[in-house]
Homo-oligomer: A and B are copies of this chain.
Amino acid sequence: MIDMEFKPIGKVHSPYKEKATAPIQPKYSDEFGKIEIFPEFADGLKDLEGFSHIWVIFVFHKSEGYDLHVKPYLDEEARGVFACRAPRRPNPIGMSLVKLENISDNILNIKGLDMLDGSPVLDIKPYVGDFDEFSDVRIGWLEGKVQQAPDKTGG
């Protein structure tokens, strides 16, 4: 049997205290914030500072329950939950790509923050463009909507 119970390796320190004030995607944020990695995991940060961007895997800790169809901020129509990035999901796991400014001991100073204050962090992974980027991408119901996204939005 697989253990599906995870433990936080750290937590987010963010100016966003509530869902209503957080941006929908880190791309639309210039906010600075910190990720505190708990001391027992800090040795795992070795060599991370060479990367300009990192993936933060975290828990949407303020989200409760989920629906399989949701009306995303960018659309009028209800979409399947797996076709959008809404926080209320069967497993409320988020991924944020943020800019890593620097590391001071067990604190990651980051830019481009969209996570709420106190979000439990499950993992940090380096961003490697060559692995993560594709050409010839279709973006379904989001086509034509992404450019119009505002800087900030409700949850």
Whether A76 is near chain B, meaning CB under 8 Å from some CB there, is no
Q: Give the contact-size bracket for chain A.
A: 35 or more
Task: Return the chain B residue nearest A149 by Cβ.
Answer: B130
Is the CB–CB distance between B83 and A134 below 8 Å? no
Q: Tell me, rounded to whole Å, the shortest Cβ–Cβ distance linking A60 to chain B.
A: 10
Whether A17 is near chain B, meaning CB under 8 Å from some CB there, is no
Is the CB–CB distance between B47 and A140 below 8 Å? yes
Copies of this chain, whole number: 2
The prevalent SS among residues of A at the interface is mixed
Task: Return the chain B residue nearest A77 by Cβ.
Answer: B47
Task: Tell me the A94-112 residues at the B interface (CB within 8 Å).
Answer: 95, 97, 99
Most B CB atoms within 10 A — which of A25, A55, A127, A132? A132
7 additional A-B residue pairs with CB within 8 Å, beyond A2-B120, A93-B122, A130-B139: A2-B59, A44-B82, A46-B78, A52-B139, A89-B123, A126-B142, A131-B146
Residues of chain A whose beta carbon lies under 8 Å from any beta carbon of chain B: 2, 4-9, 25, 27, 37, 41, 43-55, 57, 59, 61, 68-69, 78-85, 89-91, 93, 95, 97, 99, 120, 122-134, 136-143, 146-147
Q: Give 10 A-B contacts (CB < 8 Å), ordered by A residue.
A: A6-B6, A44-B90, A45-B83, A47-B141, A50-B138, A51-B138, A51-B140, A57-B93, A93-B122, A95-B125
